[in-house]
Amino acid sequence: MLFRNWVLGPVLAAGLAGSAPAQPTLKDAFGDAFRVGAAINAAQFEERDARGDAIIKAQFNTISPENVLKWASVHPRPDGFDFSAADRYVEFGERNHMFIVGHTLVWHNQTPRWVFEDGKGAPLDREALLRRMRDHIHTVVGRYKGRIGGWDVVNEALNEDGTMRVTPWMKIIGEDYIAKAFEFAHEADPQAELYYNEYALEKEAKRKGAIALIRKLKAEGVPVAAVGLQEHDRLDWPSAADIDATISALAALGVKVNITELDIDVLPRAPRQRGAGEALSAEARNRLNPYTTGLPDAVQQELTKRYGELSAVFLKHPGTITRVTFWGVTDADSWLNNWPVRGRSNYPLLFDRNGIPKPAFEAVFAAASTR
Ligand code: GLA
């Protein structure tokens, strides 16, 4: 179709010439509605991925760090921070005039065990863990003060039933660890936007829990600027109506909403595979990894329709949604190739393994262009 050539032209040209295309791209198409971005990896912010970098520079005006600002990366030892990769991430964003997101300060994953223990391996008490949390947040947020525009302060604090997840943070500090984390981040950079980031708030019980949590934080004067909806979605879940209702319910609390980790898993549901050593039987591998040679047309069409539908939902909330970030650039980068099962071929993003925009890209672009 004609439209395809018009869209593909600039993207390919950007890939070849390494410069910004003359014609509109996603960031232009969504322009005044919200920022559009991607989570990027080290090869991309170190400019070793020419194909990925051309797409990032042409298409996006905000970036998130896939891993380098998580506790385990930036603060691997009690006595040592390592900002080498994080500095390059932030410099990449500045060179390209992007809104730079920080992710994530307080989480239960990718956080070393020593964080919660004293030098002898005994659990820290509340005051000691609060001091450690404050030191981490002040050091990391403080380093990028005025440069990182917004932080995922707390990630995934809720259970599926809406109750507080019993993480070491919760066990040792208690419920107010969330308010404390926001307080410390605000002290460290009063201008930065501060976010609570979560998944599956489309589930009613979890949404209710999140609403109660955000309402309480707001009532206490905690500076929550936005709730991040991760949107690690599937072709058939969650429904567009439930995403729409979730965005509206959060907006009613007086916070903005960011779509922070968007991707769409097209593979069969699989039980979480724990160790890398766990080999799948040949039968299970074929069943769980059916598209090793390419995505069948019918599934490609479903993915395209699904991306169009989600874009339409986001565009219904221009005053509320301030950012839509994809969790990766091309299908080759996606964590979904290795989770929950290692070594599958997934197709969750807008650009294929060769960096070519997929029909799903056109659907997103078309939704943005018909506003
Ligand atoms: C969560 C985290 C992200 C990332 C994804 C999977 O959603 O917020 O940082 O780890 O899981 O990659």
pLDDT at 328 over 50: yes
Q: What is the pLDDT of residues 209-221, one digit of tens each?
A: 999 999 999 999 9
pLDDT score of 276? 55
pLDDT score of 286? 86
Q: Is there a domain that residue 239 lies in?
A: yes
Stretch 96-117: mean pLDDT: 98
Dist CA 41 CA 21 (whole Å): 23
CA 346 to chain centre: 17
- 93-107, 123-137, 229-243, 265-279: range with lowest mean pLDDT: 265-279
pLDDT score of 110? 97
pLDDT confidence bin for 275, thresholds 50/70/90: low
Q: Is there a domain that residue 16 lies in?
A: no
pLDDT at 289 over 50: yes
Give the distance (Å) from ligand 1 centre to CA of residue 299.
25
- 11-20, 88-97, 112-121, 151-160: range with lowest mean pLDDT: 11-20
- 263 Cβ closer than 6 Å to some ligand 1 atom: no
Ligand 1 atom closest to 107 (CA):
8
pLDDT score of 53? 98
pLDDT at 3 over 50: no
- 41 Cβ closer than 6 Å to some ligand 1 atom: no
pLDDT at 13 over 90: no
Q: Is there a domain that residue 116 lies in?
A: yes
Dist CA 34 CA 61 (whole Å): 10
Stretch 133-157: mean pLDDT: 98
pLDDT score of 277? 54
Stretch 263-288: mean pLDDT: 80
Ligand 1 atom closest to 103 (CA):
9
Q: Is there a domain that residue 280 lies in?
A: no
Ligand 1 atom closest to 230 (CA):
7
Give the distance (Å) from ligand 1 centre to CA of residue 327.
8
Stretch 202-212: mean pLDDT: 98
- Ligand 1: residue whose CA is nearest its atom 6: 335
**AA letter at 361:** F
Q: Is there a domain that residue 302 lies in?
A: yes
pLDDT score of 271? 77
**AA letter at 15:** G
- 325 Cβ closer than 6 Å to some ligand 1 atom: no
Give the distance (Å) from ligand 1 centre to CA of residue 101.
14
Of all residues in the chain, the percent with pLDDT exceeding 90 is 87
Dist CA 152 CA 260 (whole Å): 9
Stretch 40-49: mean pLDDT: 98
pLDDT score of 106? 98
Q: Is there a domain that residue 7 lies in?
A: no
pLDDT score of 278? 62
- 261 Cβ closer than 6 Å to some ligand 1 atom: yes
pTM: 0.93
Q: Is there a domain that residue 273 lies in?
A: no
Q: What is the pLDDT of residues 102-112, one digit of tens each?
A: 999 999 999 99
Residues contacting 120, CB < 8 A, separation 6+: none
pLDDT score of 105? 98
Dist CA 358 CA 338 (whole Å): 21
Give the distance (Å) from ligand 1 centre to CA of residue 150.
17
- 230 Cβ closer than 6 Å to some ligand 1 atom: yes
Taking CA 104 as the corner, what is the angle to CA 244 and CA 125, rounded to the nearest 5 degrees?
A: 120
Stretch 330-351: mean pLDDT: 96
Q: Is there a domain that residue 20 lies in?
A: no
In terms of residue numbers, what domain contains 201?
28-267+285-369
Residue for token digits 């960031």? 27
- Ligand 1: residue whose CA is nearest its atom 9: 66
Q: Please, are residues 170 and 198 in contact by the beta-carbon 8 Å criterion? A: no
For residues 272-284, b (16+ Cβ closer than 10 Å) or e, as one string?
Answer: ebeeeeeebeeee
- 155 Cβ closer than 6 Å to some ligand 1 atom: yes
pLDDT score of 285? 82
Stretch 88-115: mean pLDDT: 98
Give the distance (Å) from ligand 1 centre to CA of residue 358.
24
Helical spans, DSSP H, in 289-327: 297-315
Give the distance (Å) from ligand 1 centre to CA of residue 1.
36
Give the distance (Å) from ligand 1 centre to CA of residue 24.
30
Ligand 1 atom closest to 199 (CA):
7
- 260 Cβ closer than 6 Å to some ligand 1 atom: no
pLDDT at 6 over 60: no
- Ligand 1: residue whose CA is nearest its atom 3: 66
Report, as residue numbers or ranges, the catalytic residues: 156, 261
pLDDT score of 47? 98
Stretch 18-37: mean pLDDT: 79
- Provide the number of structural domains found in the chain: 1
Ligand 1 atom closest to 152 (CA):
8
pLDDT score of 23? 56
pLDDT score of 11? 47
The CATH number of whichever domain residue 68 belongs to comes to 3.20.20.80
